[in-house]
Amino acid sequence: MADLSRPSQLRFSFLPRSLGALAAIAVFASCAPKTGVKSTTGLAAYCPDSVSSSVIAGSTGSGKVFKLDPLVASGNASLSPGSSTLGNYTTTVTLPNLLGYGTLKGTYVDVITDACGESYGAYSTTNDFRYEHGDGRFAEVMNYHYGNQFRSDLASSSALYPSGSFLMIANCDVDDNAFYSQGTDSSGNLVDFVCMGRSTKYPDTTSFSEDGEVMMHELQHGTTGHAYSSVNDFNVFDFDEAGAINEGLSDFIGLIQGDSEVVSPFKNFEFSRWALGLLFDSSAMRGAAKCPVWTADYPTCSNYSKTPSSGFSATGKRISFAYPDGLGWPYAGYASGKNPKDVWASDLGFEEIHQTAPIVTGAMWEIYQSLVSSSADSATARHRAQLLLMETIKTLPQANASDPSPVTMPVLATKLNAMAATATAGAFSGAEQTSIANILSARGLTGLSSVGSGWASVGSITVAGHAGLFFNETSAVGPANNRMHAGEKGMIWFDIANSSANTAAAPLIKVTSSDSRVTFSGASKNPGYVSPTVAFIRYGKINGSNIVNALNNGTALDNVGITNSYFNGVNLYGVNSQTALYIEIGSGMTTGTTFNFTVQITPANGSGTETLTYPVTMQ
């Protein structure tokens, strides 16, 4: 039994060591800038006093950019984000598809900046946008160049969603991050935008707008969302597989859009070598390889296998990005040859959606590579891959009363195979269909080994007297001691044990409280809220004995120490609020009162739903 009785180790010690971690924390941060109400003081000196409301220039302009990012532009893998020489590596490019207002407003993207009070910064009656790197408007030009390049390419692929001009905010008021979301206009209509933030580590020399792959990543989030539904959300829970797919597809799009620009010594399957790779204390880079950067056989990943006994090893320090057992291992951030045990012990993002994305990224990248080999050229392959992907997204299931989070990686893989076979997204030859199917199977995304009936049981870990259940007070009555008391609010997780040899993938958890005085907090806390006594959540995975054995096949020095229960199989549970359910305990629940949580578990690779009962005695 693991020693999990020390709440100080479990309570929100989720230190941000990656972009994903920062994103997770931002959910609770009240740092959202207000739009439209900023003071006009503090605007950059270059902000135009006015801009034209009529056409004054042509549809083509020129500007200076980094080709993809400063590293690729310079060809120098040692270039520092703090270097004063970054400006030496810019290139002058043509800016097509402008609407002629003298701003960076075009058919496909519309670029503004927070440096000018959420308005236009770059302005030229001759469409001359050749700003030097030290000029804040350089970031705006980068946004236009890569935003236009990507979205016009989607149009060429018959895969442009949404069809209008997409708002991009350069020099956006957000630290160490970038994101896609929606705002509302004065009439309450939703408006899509991406926000390209700044670096707090290198505020004077670079920003997230200088990484072309990151811009296209964020724009693809908008594309994915609109291809899926103009109304319903793609991600439902903060840490569901739809979220991981969303991140993986955005990384993939960044890779294939940047593919033709990557030069030696850089790898075309590594995503965001600049922003994620260099703008943090340790690398948060991601990619499409079959194994992590820190394993010995990267980048060839010659030991890759979806079979746990060969693809994973504690003594061999071997990890494979195969579904589901390879989910959650960080892509980068550790020195080569790092022991998986040490990574497991120090990394707390095993269910975080950016960190669980590389399997999808990798499978899609390999499909693209396959299409490159069978298509006339790489541009044709890219267009085919993009159309295949967007048409597949359209067929993914929507949330319903039975499953509020129905998009999983196996579902995506099944739909990709089906789409390739129907010719709806263009004709794929028999050989191409076979190749796509083989790639998805090799990544473990199809043909999953299932967990048989009866695989689940209540986990053996007891915390503060609650068997199989961890309660973490967010509003305590008396000392916060993980014991349930009347009047308290808190977060709960359920320890679920898996007796199968195979890992239970993406288990959907439906929880019912037997006592109406123990209720689930509303949808602000629980996106899977159904009623006061019913709520859904989805866990990452619950290990089977095959992966447990593979990662504990050596000495105590090497063994990772994971087990086949949720509490000691995916993460250091409890630090990870995105898989918690939030409850409120009514005042009438006196000491000694008993009730049950009924937990119904439906994995992506199961034959049905398992039902477990967790009895609780008030303390």
Near other proteins in 184-223, by CB under 8 A: 184-191, 193, 195, 218, 221
Interface size with other proteins, residues (CB under 8 A): 93
Nearest to 343 by CA among 572, 580, 524: 572
Minimum gap (Å) between residue 422 Cβ and other proteins: 5
Yes or no: say if 436 and 417 are a contact pair by the CB < 8 Å rule. Answer: yes
Of 67-75, 256-264, 319-327, 528-536, the segment contacting other proteins by CB under 8 A is 528-536
DSSP 571: S
* Contacts of other proteins in 158-177 (CB under 8 A): 158-159, 161-165, 167, 177
The CA distance from 30 to 23, in Å, is: 13
The CA distance from 236 to 527, in Å, is: 7
* Contacts of other proteins in 413-442 (CB under 8 A): 414-415, 418-419, 421-426
User: Is residue 535 involved in binding other proteins (CB under 8 A)?
Assistant: no
Minimum gap (Å) between residue 126 Cβ and other proteins: 20
Q: For residue 30, give every residue at least 6 positions away whose Cβ sits within 8 Å of its Cβ, in sequence order, or none.
A: none
User: Is residue 401 involved in binding other proteins (CB under 8 A)?
Assistant: yes
Minimum gap (Å) between residue 253 Cβ and other proteins: 14
Yes or no: say if 360 and 245 are a contact pair by the CB < 8 Å rule. Answer: yes
User: Is residue 96 involved in binding other proteins (CB under 8 A)?
Assistant: no
User: Is residue 354 involved in binding other proteins (CB under 8 A)?
Assistant: yes
Secondary structure of the chain: what % helix, strand, coil (to 5)?
30, 20, 55
User: Is residue 366 involved in binding other proteins (CB under 8 A)?
Assistant: no
Minimum gap (Å) between residue 204 Cβ and other proteins: 24
User: Is residue 117 involved in binding other proteins (CB under 8 A)?
Assistant: yes
Nearer to other proteins, 191 or 296 (CB): 191
Minimum gap (Å) between residue 69 Cβ and other proteins: 18
User: Is residue 231 involved in binding other proteins (CB under 8 A)?
Assistant: yes
Yes or no: say if 179 and 218 are a contact pair by the CB < 8 Å rule. Answer: yes
Question: Which strand (E) or helix (H) includes residue 119?
Answer: none
One-letter amino acid identity for 432?
E
Minimum gap (Å) between residue 191 Cβ and other proteins: 5
Of 383-391, 460-468, 500-508, 556-564, the segment contacting other proteins by CB under 8 A is 383-391
What is the edge-to-edge ordering of all strands in the sheet holding 91-95?
A: 91-95, 61-65, 128-129
Residue from 3, 8, 36, 555 that binds other proteins (CB under 8 A)? 36
- Partners of 179 in the beta sheet? 195
The CA distance from 152 to 139, in Å, is: 20
* Contacts of other proteins in 450-489 (CB under 8 A): none
Nearer to other proteins, 220 or 498 (CB): 220
Yes or no: say if 111 and 182 are a contact pair by the CB < 8 Å rule. Answer: no
User: Is residue 345 involved in binding other proteins (CB under 8 A)?
Assistant: no
User: Is residue 524 involved in binding other proteins (CB under 8 A)?
Assistant: yes
Minimum gap (Å) between residue 184 Cβ and other proteins: 5
User: Is residue 299 involved in binding other proteins (CB under 8 A)?
Assistant: no
ω into 162 cis (within 30 of 0): yes
Nearer to other proteins, 117 or 544 (CB): 117
Minimum gap (Å) between residue 458 Cβ and other proteins: 26
Helix (H, G, I), strand (E, B) or coil at 578: helix
Go through the chain and tell me how many residues it has. 619
Helix (H, G, I), strand (E, B) or coil at 559: coil
User: Is residue 335 involved in binding other proteins (CB under 8 A)?
Assistant: no
Minimum gap (Å) between residue 133 Cβ and other proteins: 26
Is the CA virtual torsion 118, 124, 127, 130 positive or negative?
Answer: negative
Residue 235 CB burial class (10 angstroms; 0-12, 13-18, ≥19): buried
| Total Cβ atoms within 10 A of residue 88 | 12
Residue from 112, 122, 389, 484 that binds other proteins (CB under 8 A)? 112
Minimum gap (Å) between residue 305 Cβ and other proteins: 28
Dig out the tokens for 386 from the structure.
């993009």
Minimum gap (Å) between residue 441 Cβ and other proteins: 16
User: Is residue 26 involved in binding other proteins (CB under 8 A)?
Assistant: yes
Residue from 76, 152, 307, 398 that binds other proteins (CB under 8 A)? 398
Minimum gap (Å) between residue 136 Cβ and other proteins: 17
Of 474-482, 522-530, 568-576, 599-607, the segment contacting other proteins by CB under 8 A is 522-530
Nearer to other proteins, 86 or 167 (CB): 167
Of 276-284, 374-382, 397-405, 501-509, the segment contacting other proteins by CB under 8 A is 397-405
One-letter amino acid identity for 446?
T
Residue 190 CB burial class (10 angstroms; 0-12, 13-18, ≥19): exposed
Of 153-161, 302-310, 364-372, 475-483, the segment contacting other proteins by CB under 8 A is 153-161
User: Is residue 49 involved in binding other proteins (CB under 8 A)?
Assistant: yes
CA-angle at 94, arms to 160 and 126, nearest 5°: 110
What is the SS3 string spanning 13-67? Answer: CCCCCCHHHHHHHHCCCCCCCCCCCCCCCCCCCCCCCCCCCCCCCCCCEEEEECC
Nearer to other proteins, 260 or 531 (CB): 531
Residue from 2, 55, 263, 523 that binds other proteins (CB under 8 A)? 523
The CA distance from 26 to 531, in Å, is: 27
Nearer to other proteins, 464 or 534 (CB): 534
Of 37-45, 129-137, 280-288, 363-371, the segment contacting other proteins by CB under 8 A is 37-45
Minimum gap (Å) between residue 263 Cβ and other proteins: 28
Q: Fill in the per-residue mask, 244 to 263: x = in contact with other proteins (CB under 8 A), - = not in contact.
A: --x-----------------
In Å, how far from its chain's centre is CA 204? 28
Residue from 107, 457, 481, 512 that binds other proteins (CB under 8 A)? 107
User: Is residue 32 involved in binding other proteins (CB under 8 A)?
Assistant: yes
What is the SS3 string spanning 274-330? Answer: CHHHHCCCCCCCEECCCCCCCCCCCCCCCCCCCCHHHHCECCCCECCCCCCCCCCCC
Of 86-94, 112-120, 128-136, 595-603, the segment contacting other proteins by CB under 8 A is 112-120
User: Half-sphere exposure (CA, 13 Å, Cβ side) for 291?
Assistant: 25
User: Is residue 510 involved in binding other proteins (CB under 8 A)?
Assistant: no
